[in-house]
Amino acid sequence: MARQYSRKRGKSGSKKPLKVVKKGWLRYSDKEIEALTVRIAKQGNKCSKIGLILRDVYGVPDVKIVTGKSISKILKENNLGSKLPEDLTALILKDIAIMKHLEANKKDMPSLRGLTLTESKIRKLAKYYKKTGKLSQDWVFRRENAKLLLG
């Protein structure tokens, strides 16, 4: 499948195994993994970073296979989830960084195109999250309020 805004193809990467079986060599129970997830989240890490830490430091290959719940669901149960989804937050941060760059470099037209594409992605993602109920129907992204959304 082609990329969204260029006709290039993406790099092929590794895939998760199809068999969803708890590994025999895993040392942690599901309750311990949930406690680890909450502890790592309280240190200020987001869902994707928590998954990387659990994989690299604690040897947990996939939280959802072991616990039956995703990391974001575990965080919501413990009232640690954020208001905005993580991918939308990342796009808003990227938009803020591009805007800051354009304030210093007003004639940088490729960056202006990047800003347009990033805002388009934000609108598409917001439309999806409104449809699925993760965002309120009256939520709208504005450049002026971008820094306030994340505060």
Residue whose entry in the numeric block shows the structure tokens 């068999």: 19
**Which of 65, 84, 88 is CA-nearest to residue 51?**
65
**What is the pTM for the complete model shown?**
0.80
Report the 10 Å Cβ neighbour count for 33: 20
Looking at residue 113, its pLDDT comes to 95
**Residue pair 111/101 in contact by the 8 Å Cβ criterion:** yes
pLDDT for the residue 54: 94
Kindly list the averaged pLDDT for each block of 10 residues, start to end, along the chain of length 151: 74 76 84 95 93 92 90 93 90 94 95 95 95 93 79 58
CA atoms within 13 A on the CB side of 77: 10
SS3 77: helix
Which pair of structure tokens corresponds to residue 45? 């890490």
In this prediction, residue 5 carries a pLDDT of: 77
Q: How far apart are the C-alpha atoms of 62 and 16, rounded to whole Å?
A: 9
Q: Which residues, 6 or more positions from 93, have their beta carbon under 8 angstroms from its beta carbon?
A: 150
pLDDT value of position 111: 96
